[in-house]
Structure 1
């Protein structure tokens, strides 16, 4: 990312501790970034929609609304880079699994210089990906409406199919066992068989194939489960 791009970038700091938010803003300003600060979880999504930032530093524990809920909703309409900030060490595995759509995480207490370095690195990656051609798969999922489009064509998905595809799509390359996919698909923790998951996957593949029959987006991994692969 060049110097001009860095100077043009705006970082939204979502942090309910005013002193910490101000400290982060000072360090980011010193590195050439513009900043905005939001202290209440309920205000984050409206603020992002009103003035989209180039990156969001999102605290996990916020008044009004939890950071994980915010990140999930955000991913329904935006691909803005998100660095999740957490003081809960036990949350790290889940964050690293990208189950909530975060691009990176950092644990409190942290060095403000490290935060700036993470911001710069993530923006460089985002700029590189933006300059590349869009993936041919062009799968877009909206969690708010439970609607999905593939190469501009709407997919007629059931709620279970949507949740299965979303879990796979948000974690490209990650192999999910059938048991893990059951947990993603059924929020009421009902007991279903492996064959039920296989049937849903078969239906998903059929609907994707109707749009693009020349590539297998959902791959079976023998003895393990399924994974999502972006079309090259």
Structure 2
């Protein structure tokens, strides 16, 4: 087996509880992964750098550095999918975990069968720069970039000048007929996964892009948090998979980060409005700015 193929089936487990560590290894190995297990954040970052795994699971509360800091350090050096596992359920913790670079957030205790289903759904989602294999590290959102110190700024990658210059340029007058989706001065291309606002490219995470694409495709049709959860998992709308409160809080956290990058005020939205008790949809084209 080639080195690339071997890496594609490697998972790093970062967990200080030996029982949970062994359970995670069982779940991942039953899914065909070879696993590398460590018990703290520092060793976890080193293991990811050494093995460049396809998938990494991160506990939040660990000795040394916590899972949030470990995720930030990993994101500077790897495009691995990150699943954070924790007993914390507060929305602020979900925002911080996803903002640090996690792709999925699973609350303990978890059911092994559901965890495996989430992993399989996560792996069906495209990786940035994917072209038949793992993306190179610089192609990952925010790879190699300094991360802000405050929680409100966490997870807001800033494109370097060279990276922006290397991207395909987009005409200012793009319309949906060109294959792009448009809403006001916001344009999104599902195929190239590019987004421009007022002519400027936006750096969105994989999940933020998928959420925005789902809403722009639906236009004024409301998408519920449960519905959007299934979109991110890659599941059909008729599904028996459970969508819990933690999933819905994760959608809220992603939406908070997306709105921040769009400069959108939830109280007077230009792009995305909240339908209280139901979900989200794009604003009316004729509504006030």
TM-score above 0.5, yes or no? yes
Q: CA deviation at 1:125?
A: 1.3
SS in 2 for 1:64: coil
Structure 1: segments with no counterpart, 5+ residues: 155-166, 177-217, 228-232
- CA distance change for structure 1 residues 73 and 96 in 2, over 3 Å: closer, same or farther? closer
Confirm whether residue 64 of structure 1 aligns to residue 64 of structure 2.
yes
Contact 2:8–2:53 (8 Å) recurs in 1: no
SS in 2 for 1:11: strand
Give the TM-score normalised by structure 2.
0.48
- CA distance change for structure 1 residues 111 and 72 in 2, over 3 Å: closer, same or farther? same
Partner Cα distance (1:110, 1:153) in 2: 40
Pick the aligned partner of 1:149 from 160, 171, 174: 160
Contact 1:41–1:64 (8 Å) recurs in 2: yes
Per-residue CA deviations over 1:17-63 (Å, capped at 9, x if unaligned) read 11211122122222222111010112111111111111001111111
Contact 1:96–1:105 (8 Å) recurs in 2: no
1:102 paired residue number: 102
Superposed CA RMSD in Å reads 3.9
- CA distance change for structure 1 residues 168 and 94 in 2, over 3 Å: closer, same or farther? farther
* More moved, 93-102 vs 38-47: 93-102
- CA distance change for structure 1 residues 117 and 219 in 2, over 3 Å: closer, same or farther? closer
Per-residue CA deviations over 1:97-123 (Å, capped at 9, x if unaligned) read 831111011110011122222111111
2:275 paired residue number: none
- CA distance change for structure 1 residues 24 and 151 in 2, over 3 Å: closer, same or farther? same
1:206 paired residue number: none
Give the TM-score normalised by structure 1.
0.58
Partner Cα distance (2:45, 2:97) in 1: 23
- CA distance change for structure 1 residues 22 and 225 in 2, over 3 Å: closer, same or farther? same
Partner Cα distance (2:7, 2:30) in 1: 10
SS in 1 for 2:160: strand
Partner Cα distance (1:7, 1:32) in 2: 12
SS in 2 for 1:53: coil
Q: CA deviation at 1:221?
A: 4.8
Partner Cα distance (2:6, 2:42) in 1: 28
- CA distance change for structure 1 residues 95 and 35 in 2, over 3 Å: closer, same or farther? farther
Partner Cα distance (2:120, 2:95) in 1: 20
Contact 1:7–1:33 (8 Å) recurs in 2: no
Figure out how many residues of one structure are paired with residues of the other and give that number: 168
The 5 Å alignment of 1:67-216 reads 67-91=67-91, 94-95=94-95, 98-126=98-126, 130-131=130-131, 140=142, 142-144=144-146, 148-150=159-161, 152=163, 169-170=204-205, 171=208, 173=212, 174-176=258-260
Structure 2: segments with no counterpart, 5+ residues: 149-157, 166-201, 213-257, 273-289
Q: CA deviation at 1:73?
A: 1.7
Contact 1:8–1:34 (8 Å) recurs in 2: no
